[in-house]
Amino acid sequence: MKSRHLLPLLFLVQLLSIHPLLAQIPQVPAQLEFADLTLKITSQAQREIQLDVDAQYRNPSYFKVKQERVNLYLPIVERELRNQGVPDDLKYLVIQESGLIPDAVSTSNAVGFWQFKQGTAEEVGMRVDAQIDDRKNIAASSRGAAAYLKKHNNQLDNWMTALVSYQMGLGGAKSYFGTQYSGKKVVEVDRNTHWYFKKFLAHKIAFENQTVMFASNQQRLTEVTVQGPATMAALAKRFGVTESHLKEYNKWAGHGKIPAGSYTIFFVKEGSLPVETAVIKTETRPKTNQKQTASSKNSPAYKQANSFPRISGNTTKASQPNQITVNELDGVQASKTTSPERFSQEIGLKEKKFLKLNDLDANDRIESGKYYYTEKKKTSAEVETHIVMPGETLWSISQKYGLRLSSLKSKNRIRKDSDLKAGMVLNLIDPRKRGEDIQIVPVALPVQQQRTEIAASEPRATENRTVEYTPRPQPESQKASTANRVTHSVSQGETLFAISKRYGVSVDELKSWNNIGSQNIISIGQKLVIFTP
C-alpha cells in the first residue's frame, strides 16, 4: 500500500526537478497592493487571473529567456518612472505591452518597448524620424510612458483607470469608467473588471518576485554618453564590443549611426562597473528572432491577434450560458464537437438565431473548445487590422474579433475564402478604399521556423527583429509560400503534441492554423490543416 502511494509522489518530485519553475508559480492572492490602491480580488477573478499567470510559466525555457530580459531592462524602467513620480508597480506594463522587445511592431503600427504610435510618441517628447526612433530606446520610451500615464492619472485620479487608459486612450477611459473610481483607494476586482487590467495583474504577479532568478553574474548592461556623429563600427572599437552587438542594443539609432549631438548608448560589458554607471543584468539570447512569450494570449509576436478572442467571466463554466463574455459579447465555449441544432438546444437558443449570430449554416459543425456568440456581433473590431495566417478563413477571423462576417467582407471587398492569402493585412475598422490594393506581408516559413526554434530553446547570439511585421508591400517573387499544405485526420489517441512531432511543426502552429482554443481539444476525425517546411 505504501509503495503504491509513493510512486505518484516520486513522479511529482522528478517532474519538479526537471522543471523547477512548476514549483514556483505564484498564486493570485485575495488582496493585493497596486500603486496606492488596495485591490480585493474575488475568487472568480482570482481563477481568471491565475490562468494567465500559469500561462507565463507554461514554457520554462522561454520563461527563463523572458525573465532575463526583464532583469536586463527593468531597472532603467524603474528609474524613469520614479523620476516622474509614477508608482513603481506600473513597470510591469512594459512586459505586457512588448515583452521588452525593443523593435516590437504591432499590426496597428505601434512600435517599441512601450508600443507607441508615432503621433502619441511625439506628443510626450519622443523623437521619431529616419535618424532616431526613441520608441526603441528603453530610457526615452519609459520617460514618455511615464509622462503619458501621469497625465492621465491627473485627470482620472486612479492608477487602475489610468493604466487602462494606456490601452483605450483618455477619452475612452473617461467614457468607460466615468468617475466611479476617482479618488478611490480600495477597488474590487471581479468578472466585470476590464480585461486589460486583469491581464496586467497577471504579469505583475508572474514577475514580481522573480527578478534575480536567472540573472547572469558576469554580464552587465552599461549606459554611456557619446558625442555624434559617430558610426557603430567606431564606437564598437572604442568600447571593446562588436558592431552587431551595439546595433542590437541600440535599435533606436537609424541605419546604425549616431547623428550629431549627445546620446546615450547601451552595451553589455563583462565584470563589474563603476557605481555611477547604470548596471543591469543581461540575458542569454535565443537562437532566432526571439519575439514570443510563453502565453499565447500575451505574446508580442502577433500581439494583437493573439490577444483575441478576449474572454472574461467565469471561465470554469465557459460551456454554460451567461457565464462568460467573448470580446465583451455574451458567449459560450463548446465542450464537445456536435451539431448546431443540438448545441443551440443545450445553451437555450433557437437554432436559427444561433446560426445567424455566428454566421453559420445548419450543416456546419460545432467544434469542441471553440467560442461562439449568443448576442449579435459588432460591425467593427477593437483593433484596426489583422494579418492573415495560413489556414485562416474569413469566418474564423470574424469569430476571433467578434466581427460580423458581412462587415469583414465589405470592409475588405473580399467575398470568398479563395481570395484570402497568407500575409494579407485586412481592415477591421475602416473600409478599404475603392481600387486600393490589399497589402501583403511575409509570414510563412520565417515565422514557423522561429516558433519551432523558440520552443526548442536553442541559444543564439543575436536578436534581429520582431515577427509582428510592419505592413509593407511584398515583392511578387516572395508572395508564394514555400510551405506545403497537407490535411491530417485525427485518429483515436492522437494529441496535438504527437501530431506536431510527426510533421515537424510546433503545437502553437497547429493551434493557430486550425483556430484551436487554449484547452488544446481535438476530436477523432477532425481535419487539421498543416503547413510543412
CATH number of the domain where residue 60 is located: 1.10.530.10
Based on the domain organization, do 174 and 25 belong to the same domain?
A: yes
How far does the chain reach from its first CA to its final CA, in angstroms?
51
State which amino acid sits at residue 12: L
The residues, any chain, with a CB within 8 Å of residue 2's CB and separated by 6 or more, are none
User: pTM, whole model, 2 decimals?
Assistant: 0.50
Q: Per-residue pLDDT for 163 more than 90?
A: yes
- Among the ranges given (201-215, 217-231, 242-256, 313-327), the one the predictor scored with the smallest mean pLDDT: 201-215
- The pLDDT, as a whole number, for residue 139 is 93
**Grid coordinates given for 360:** 453559420
In terms of residue numbers, what domain contains 247? 219-281
Residue 40 within any structural domain of the chain = yes
Residue 461 within any structural domain of the chain = no
State mean pLDDT over 198-203.
94
d(CA 427, CA 381): 9
Residue 201 within any structural domain of the chain = yes
Based on the domain organization, do 145 and 115 belong to the same domain?
A: yes
Based on the domain organization, do 95 and 184 belong to the same domain?
A: yes
Question: Looking at beta carbons, which pairs linking 362-366 to residues 24 or more positions away fall under 8 Å?
Answer: 364/340, 365/337, 365/338, 365/339, 366/334, 366/337, 366/338, 366/339, 366/340, 366/342
Q: Per-residue pLDDT for 23 more than 80?
A: no
Residue 502 within any structural domain of the chain = no
Residue 474 within any structural domain of the chain = no
Based on the domain organization, do 230 and 171 belong to the same domain?
A: no
Residue 326 within any structural domain of the chain = yes
Q: What's the Cα-to-Cα distance from 154 to each of 85, 123, 160, 201, rounded to whole Å?
A: 12, 17, 12, 22
**Grid coordinates given for 95:** 512586459
Q: Indicate the length of the chain as a whole number.
A: 533
Average confidence score pLDDT of the chain: 78
Q: Per-residue pLDDT for 307 more than 80?
A: no
Based on the domain organization, do 122 and 189 belong to the same domain?
A: yes
Based on the domain organization, do 86 and 63 belong to the same domain?
A: yes
Based on the domain organization, do 83 and 224 belong to the same domain?
A: no
- Among the ranges given (78-92, 211-225, 362-376, 501-515), the one the predictor scored with the smallest mean pLDDT: 211-225
Based on the domain organization, do 265 and 135 belong to the same domain?
A: no
The residues, any chain, with a CB within 8 Å of residue 521's CB and separated by 6 or more, are 368, 369
State which amino acid sits at residue 311: I
Q: Per-residue pLDDT for 161 more than 90?
A: yes
pLDDT tens, position by position, 434-478: 778 888 877 643 333 343 333 433 333 333 333 333 333 433 333
The residues, any chain, with a CB within 8 Å of residue 506's CB and separated by 6 or more, are 448, 451, 452, 455, 500
Q: Closest by alpha carbon to 393, among 374, 372, 429, 421?
A: 421
The residues, any chain, with a CB within 8 Å of residue 243's CB and separated by 6 or more, are 232, 233, 236, 256
d(CA 23, CA 20): 6
Strands 280-281 and 425-427, by their bridges, are unpaired
**Grid coordinates given for 93:** 506594463
- The pLDDT, as a whole number, for residue 179 is 92
> Which of 376, 397, 420 is at the close of a domain?
376
Residue 184 within any structural domain of the chain = yes
Q: Closest by alpha carbon to 387, among 102, 99, 105?
A: 105
d(CA 359, CA 377): 10
State which amino acid sits at residue 148: Y
d(CA 347, CA 355): 13
Based on the domain organization, do 78 and 146 belong to the same domain?
A: yes
Q: Considering its fold, how many domains does the chain have in total? A: 3
Q: Per-residue pLDDT for 294 more than 50?
A: no
pLDDT tens, position by position, 103-150: 988 878 899 999 999 999 998 889 999 899 999 999 999 999 999 999
Based on the domain organization, do 29 and 171 belong to the same domain?
A: yes
> Which of 338, 355, 376 is at the close of a domain?
376
Strands 329-333 and 324-326, by their bridges, are antiparallel
Based on the domain organization, do 223 and 202 belong to the same domain?
A: no
CATH of the domain at 241: 3.10.350
Residue 512 within any structural domain of the chain = no
> Which of 207, 229, 250 is at the close of a domain?
207
Based on the domain organization, do 343 and 257 belong to the same domain?
A: no
Q: What is the 3-state secondary structure (H, E, C) of 289-310?
A: CCCCCCCCCCCCCCHHHHCCCC
State mean pLDDT over 216-238.
79
d(CA 491, CA 407): 37
Cβ(477)–Cβ(330) below 8 Å: no
